[in-house]
Amino acid sequence: MKPVQFHPEARAELRAAARYYESQQKGLGRRFLAAVRDGVNRVQSFPLAHRTVEEDVRQCRTWRFPFGLLYRVTPERFEIIAVMHLHREPGYWKRRLRAD
């Protein structure tokens, strides 16, 4: 199975969201991380099953949380470009594609 690599800003988004949820309710941050982990597993198991949002970028939605994992598949790995809140700034992550 290909490895998963998080863009540094995607990893920061993941941590910030987990901290926020944990501050709202004890254990909720852990449940958020588990939902993201489940999404990563689905990406690895079924990489082409998720909808395309732009060229080679796909979105896997998390269960129970309003977040999506934006990713692309390369020959070497799965690249998580963003851990995006689905109701805020929809296109902000596109600049990360140019930064590669």
Could you report the per-residue pLDDT of 11-21, keeping only the tens digit for each?
A: 999 999 999 99
What is the per-residue pLDDT for 97?
A: 82
The pairing of beta strand 67-73 with beta strand 4-6: unpaired
Instruction: For 20-57, write each residue's pLDDT tens digit.
Output: 999 999 999 999 999 999 999 999 999 999 999 998 99
The pLDDT of 80-99, averaged and rounded, is 84
Query: What CATH number has the domain spanning 4-99?
Result: 3.30.2310.20
- Tell me the pLDDT band of 100, cut-offs 50, 70 and 90: low
Per-domain residue ranges for the chain?
A: 4-99
Q: Residue 92 — pLDDT band, cuts 50, 70, 90? A: confident
* Selected residue with higher pLDDT from 99 and 94: 94
- For residues 82, 32, 19, 43, the Cα torsion angle rounded to the nearest 10 degrees is -20
pLDDT in tens, 50-87: 999 998 999 999 999 999 999 999 999 999 999 999 98
